[in-house]
Structure 1
Amino acid sequence: MNKKCLMGVDVGTSETKGVLVDLSGAVIASASHPHELIIPRQGWAEHDPEVAWWGGLKSVIKDLLDGSGVSSDEIASFGCSTIAPCMVPMDEKGVALRNAVLYGIDTRATEEISELNSAIGEDEIFSRCGNSLSSQAVGPKILWLRKNEPQIYDKAHKIGTGSTYLVARLTGEWWIDHYTACNYVPCYDVASQGWAEDLCSSIVDIDKLPAIGWTSQIAGYVTEEAALETGLAVGTPVIVGATDAASEAVSVGVVEPGQMMLMYGSTLFMVQVTDSPVTDTRLWSAPFLFPGTYSLMAGMATTGVLTKWFRDNCALDLVDQESRDGVSAFSRLAEMASNVSPGAEGLIVLPYFSGERTPINDPGARGTVFGLTLSHGREHIYRAILEGVGHGVRHHVDLLEAIGAAPEEFRAVGGGTKNLPWLQMVSDICGIEQLVPPVTFGASYGDAFLAGLGIGLFADHGDIKSWIGDPLKIGNDLDLKPLYDLYHKVYLDLYRSTASLMHDLGVLSRKS
């Protein structure tokens, strides 16, 4: 049978998405399947791997095959990505022994972070791992498992991430990619690009960790048992896989040093490719997906979710109007904001409504609307929210320039790119041009390309550009730079001046 298709599947926080493409990148079919985020108690966030990950994967594969009429024998290779970093203990057959502990939104291992910082030393951890310990780090979560659920830890054959689990269920092989493994702080040594046995010793038996490989490396082949469950053909090659953000970067052509992805989702995530390791305590770093490439990552905690919060609390009339005429409330808000002059007539918003990740790394930060007068309406506040995100992006862009890693190209992706006025504000505030691919299918599209790369269908990772098409260019208005420079200074000074008060409010809120 002629192998003429590639399949990619991505498991996200709330749904699994998949895409089936031909070898030119044309989409034959796409599918999605929702799943539940489990919050067993405050500060915990979990998935049921059997239901959410394996069940979602099977459902999406079935929908792709049924909806396309493509035979599984025609699929040349398969790739997957998952939210990361996660922690899931598995038995010898790849079955999860408990719910998966999710990424930075799960903060159960605070005590273990302090314990490891004291035992190893914060400077030593950063020097060896390229990252500091935080709620994003998997090492403390493994230690939490060992201390609190020792019977599960002892029974575990391997402790890996989401892609480890799915690849093991499909192939019987145990893998994790370098990009994801670097999030297993303090277990991964950046210099040697392998598990740091001396740092692991007090956390996890090293033989419980999966092998580390490059994303597009072939991890194994679909087994007879997995073929019966999923509908994939026996022997289909399966690559090691990656995290969703990294695959999303590939999906829009961010593969070369100097390129950066701005992912406008519920949060805003940034991935920049570099040709050598660059580390800074205010950012995250890791090897990228291909040998000889590296990456800097950053993330803002509330961006798209903040625009939704505003819509649901301050624009219910527009939501009602949307139900009558079909015109999106978001598009109406964007138009209203566009009619407000830059700077929102003296308003600044700090978009720290769920704390903030990089570059301030302050979970106690609070959202702020500063400068309100009786002349301001909701259109001013909404513009200030959009501009606040722009100032947050600029905070990162300026930091990258200061440490000698200024991006040369910015590619935007995600649901927020539908809001062109927002993109324009970000470009004007940061003084950058953004490139928006004409059609994006997200991380699963990148997974499909990486699956093809793994079996040699493409010369190198740069061939993804032939899949993408000509992007829309969002330039910047240089005349606005002096004004936005002044507003940006207020943005930075506002946090510095109020951070301690924000933390005081956090303490008070827990007492009330």
Structure 2
Amino acid sequence: MSCVIGLDIGTTSTIGIILDVSSSRILASATRPVTLSSPQQGWAEEDPAEWWANVCAIVPELLQQSGLQNTEIAAIGTTGMLPATVVLDSAGTVLRPSIQQSDGRTGQEVKEIAAEVPEAQFVRRAGNGINQQLVASRIRWIEEHEPEVFARIATVFGSYDYINWRLTGVRRVEQNWALEAGFVDLSTNDLADDLIALAHLRRDMVPDKAGSAEIIGQVSPEAAAQSGLAAGTPVVGGAADHIASAYAAGVLASGDVLLKFGGAADIMIATDTARPDPRMFLDYHIIPGLFMPNGCMSTGGSALNWFIAQFAKAEAAEAEKRGISPHQYLDELAAEIPPGADGVTFIPYLLGEKTPIHDPEARGTILGLSLNHDIRHLWRALLEGYAYAFRHHIEVFNEMGFPTTRYLASDGGSKSRLWMQICADVLQAPVQLLTGHPGSCLGAAWLAGMSTGATDDWGGVANCVSYGDEVQPDPAQRAGYDAGYGFFRETYRMQREQRQ
């Protein structure tokens, strides 16, 4: 056996697996919850100490489940959300809670950066647009509102960079965190002093960039004592969670697309060229030589959960009696309603929207209601709204010069057969379902296997995943959904014009 650990420092939980690379088998898995706090409207923060405590609890559980000794772990890979922002002082003390990727407090700072640097110039150079994903906007916010914290900053990096540092004592930033942070010059693929300076930081405050499969250090004796790992175990740079998840799902060749139905809805495409566009985010693919342009919506499954909590309490109670989830029960009800939800349209911009419109002031909208409509129409319209939003992303990818050839679907929402059929019909393309995808920790684990020479097959990670049905589109629904999509886009355009 050649066994590695993959750790996912996720938004709602910390997840770990042990993978036997030689047999492509997962030998153990464990998870611990993470507390997401919002002390003010639009804020999203977490405590990095909780991530580390979770790692120290998960590793012994993984070893116990698998029956392995810690010396049998060949390497460790990490993954996490982008671009979480962690700041340390010179002694390694965390100065404030991490500012998470879904945080929305930096609108003013984004405007300031946009006034200093032409966006077209910035996009060509840094690969991403001027928006609230930029770490420079978060650091400027700290400078303005927490000057005593800003004055003590010695290191800025991401969530899984923080865990790698706790494991090894080595401060590095993984390449995709650095790219989405806005600190990488695409022409050289190196950190650029002047881009870092936009955050009002010195170059030495951002650690050197690491490749995803690069061994950055070994588990220190102190970390070994706390976590149960063996001192000297190699640790690799890791990867962004959405990139690791798409890679593990089988997004391996140009044109492959992953539709990720988590708490937020994500979409990733593999490409062999970088064509920066301010509407989308740009990341490196895990496979050298490839890129992964991608989009992230502010909501997804979180909006479905909100809808159930606010409007479907009776249905949730009935679902509990039947021993199924509220989502399953509402799907059964909504399946009685024809495509198009009898004229009801749901614009799901409940927290503003990230890609491709980058509009923090956008809001959720329900249109077309009449007295003949009920909870079934609303639920179906909500599912259709996200399918339309995915189609918008696909159009942008195509406009960027990236043809889409294959669609895969993962995470919790992909278990809804109704939702997957809606997506296939709206996109008018088959959607391949995944049934055995443990998430981004699998991609991180495979990276660890690559780093140690346990495997040299980048595509071998696909052997760890099971594939389910391929949902076929119904050609009879094309015209109706084409019209519905046009109405979806036009409604938002008119709403935005009214605000301007």
Which TM class, normalised by the smaller chain length? over 0.9
Which amino acid in structure 2 is aligned with residue 11 of structure 1?
I
Which of residues 197, 202, 205 is equivalent to 2:202? Answer: 205
Task: Report what 1:485 is aligned to.
Answer: 482
Taking the TM superposition and a 5 Å limit, the aligned residue runs for 1:417-428 are: 417-428=414-425
Determine if contact 1:87/1:160 at 8 Å carries over to the other structure: yes
The separation in 1 between residues aligned to 2:312 and 2:119, in whole angstroms, is: 46
Q: How many Å apart are 1:439 and its aligned residue?
A: 0.9
Q: 3-state SS of the aligned residue for 1:125?
A: helix
- Residues 94, 472 of structure 1: alpha-carbon distance in 2 compared, 3 angstrom cutoff: farther
Check whether the contact 1:113–1:133 (CA below 8 A) recurs between aligned residues: yes
**Residue 291 of structure 1: aligned partner:** 288
> Does the CA-based 8 Å contact 1:190-1:286 persist in structure 2?
no
Contact 1:256 1:462 (C-alpha < 8 Å) held by counterparts: no
Residues 1:97 and 2:101 are matched in the alignment: no
TM score, norm. by length of structure 2? 0.95
CA shift in 2, pair 1:139/1:196, >3 Å: same
Deviates more, 1:418-427 or 1:253-262: 253-262
SS in 2 for 1:183: helix
Residue 69 of structure 1 and its aligned partner are, at CA, apart by 2.3
Gaps of 5+ in 2: none
Matched residue type, 1:408? T
The offset of 1:107, in angstroms, is 2.8
Return the alpha-carbon distance in structure 1 between the equivalents of residues 311 and 97 of structure 2: 37
Please tell me the residue identity of whatever aligns with 2:191: W
How many Å separate the matches in 2 of 1:40 and 1:159?
A: 22
User: Which is further off, 140-149 or 352-361?
Assistant: 140-149
* Contact kept? 1:178, 1:289, Cα under 8 Å: no
Matches within 5 A, 1:322-401: 322-401=319-398
**Paired position in structure 2 for 1:47:** 46
Alignment coverage as a number of residue pairs = 498
- Give the match for residue 177 of structure 2: 180
Per-residue CA distance 1:207-244 (angstroms, 9 max, x = gap): 11111121111111111111001001111111101121
Change (3 A) 1:352 1:149: closer
Q: Contact conserved, 2:248 with 2:462, CA < 8 A, in 1?
A: no
| Residues 166-210 of structure 1: per-residue CA shift (max 9 Å, x gap) | 11111111222222211112x221211111112323521101111
The match for 1:509 is: none
Name the CA shift for 1:42/1:354 in 2 (closer, same or farther; >3 Å). Answer: closer
| SS of match in other structure, 1:30 | strand
- Summarize the Cα distance change of 1:343–1:43 in structure 2 as closer, same or farther, 3 Å threshold: closer
> Partners of 1:338 and 1:456 in 2: how far apart?
49
Report if aligned partners of 2:6, 2:76 keep a CA contact under 8 Å in 1.
Answer: yes
What is the aligned partner in structure 2 of residue 510 from structure 1?
Answer: none
SS at match of 2:353: coil
Q: How many angstroms does 1:340 deviate by? A: 1.1
CA contact (8 A) 1:160 1:210 kept: yes
Whether the 8 Å CA contact 1:81–1:444 is kept in 2: the answer is: yes
Q: Distance in 1 between matches of 2:495 and 2:113?
A: 30
Rate the CA distance shift 1:154–1:314 in 2: closer, same or farther, 3 A.
closer
How many Å apart are 1:422 and its aligned residue? 0.4
Q: Tell me which amino acid in the other structure corresponds to 2:25.
A: A
| Residues 1:121 and 1:455: Cα distance change in structure 2 (over 3 Å) | same
Cα deviation 1:142-171 (Å, max 9, x = unaligned): 233344445544443321111211111111
CA contact (8 A) 1:179 1:289 kept: no
Greater alpha carbon shift after TM alignment, 461-470 vs 30-39: 461-470
Output the amino acid matched with 2:97. Answer: N
- The runs of 5 or more residues in structure 1 that have no matched partner are 505-512
SS at match of 1:132: coil
Equivalent residue, structure 2, for 1:58: 56
Cα deviation digits, residues 33-76 of structure 1 (max 9, x gap): 112112232333221111x2111111111221233322111111
SS of equivalent residue, structure 2 residue 334 = helix
Q: 1:87: Cα distance to partner? A: 1.5
Task: Write the letter of the residue equivalent to 1:192.
Answer: T
Q: After TM superposition, give the deviation of residue 313 of structure 1 in Å.
A: 2.2
Task: With the length of structure 1 as denominator, give the TM-score of the two structures.
Answer: 0.93
Distance 1:435 1:317 in 2: 33
Which deviations, in whole Å up to 9, do the C-alpha atoms of 1:423-444 show, x marking residues without a partner? 0100101112111222121111
Tell me how far apart the structure 2 counterparts of residues 460 and 145 of structure 1 sit (CA, whole Å).
43
Equivalent-residue separation in structure 2 for 1:470 and 1:414 (angstroms)? 13
How far does the alpha carbon of each residue in 1:476-512 deviate from its partner, in whole angstroms, 9 at most, with x for none? 11221122111111111111222244x49xxxxxxxx
Does 2:18 correspond to 1:20?
Answer: yes
Deviation at 1:93, TM superposition (A): 5.8
| Pair 96,393 (structure 1): closer, same or farther in 2 beyond 3 Å | same
Higher mean alpha-carbon deviation, 159-168 vs 461-470, is at 461-470
Deviation at 1:102, TM superposition (A): 1.5
Between 338-347 and 86-95, the greater mean CA deviation after superposition: 86-95
Deviations 1:253-300 (A, max 9, x none): 113222111110111011111101022221111222232111111122
The 5 Å alignment of 1:107-146 reads 107-146=104-143
Amino acid at match of 1:195: L
Residue in structure 2 matching 1:319, options 312, 316, 321: 316
How far apart in 2 are the matches of 1:363 and 1:157? 31
Identity over the aligned pairs, expressed in percent? 31
The answer on whether the counterparts of 2:346 and 2:367 sit within 8 Å (CA) in structure 1 is yes
Paired residues of 1:248 and 1:443 also in contact (CA < 8 A)? yes
Find the aligned partners of 1:488 and 1:145 in 2 and give their Cα distance: 40
Aligned partners of 2:91, 2:428: CA distance in 1, in Å?
A: 52
Are 1:196 and 2:195 counterparts? no
Which residue number corresponds to residue 29 of structure 1? 28
Q: Distance in 1 between matches of 2:352 and 2:88?
A: 33
One-letter amino acid of the structure 2 residue matched with residue 62 of structure 1:
P
User: AA paired with 2:366?
Assistant: V
- Distance in 1 (CA, whole Å) between partners of 2:210 and 2:166 is 17
Give CA deviations for 1:380-400 in whole Å, capped at 9, x if unaligned. Answer: 111111111111111111222
- Kept in 1, the 8 Å contact 2:86–2:158? The answer is yes
Q: Which residue is 1:404 aligned to?
A: 401
Indicate the larger mover: 458-467 or 234-243. Answer: 458-467
Deviation digits for residues 344-379 of structure 1, max 9, x if unmatched? Answer: 111211111111111121111121111112221211
Question: Residues 486 and 110 from structure 1, CA distance in 2 versus in 1: closer, same or farther, beyond 3 angstroms?
Answer: closer
Is this contact kept in 2: 1:93–1:169, CA < 8 A?
A: no
The one-letter code sitting in structure 1 at the alignment partner of 2:94 is A
Distance 1:273 1:19 in 2: 25
**Distance (Å, rounded) in 2 between the aligned partners of 1:98 and 1:178:** 24
Q: Return the letter of the residue paired with 1:16.
A: T
8 Å Cα contact 1:45/1:101 also seen in 2: yes
Distance (whole Å) between structure 2 residues aligned to residue 354 and residue 43 of structure 1: 9
Letter in 2 for 1:99: P
Aligned to 1:169: 166
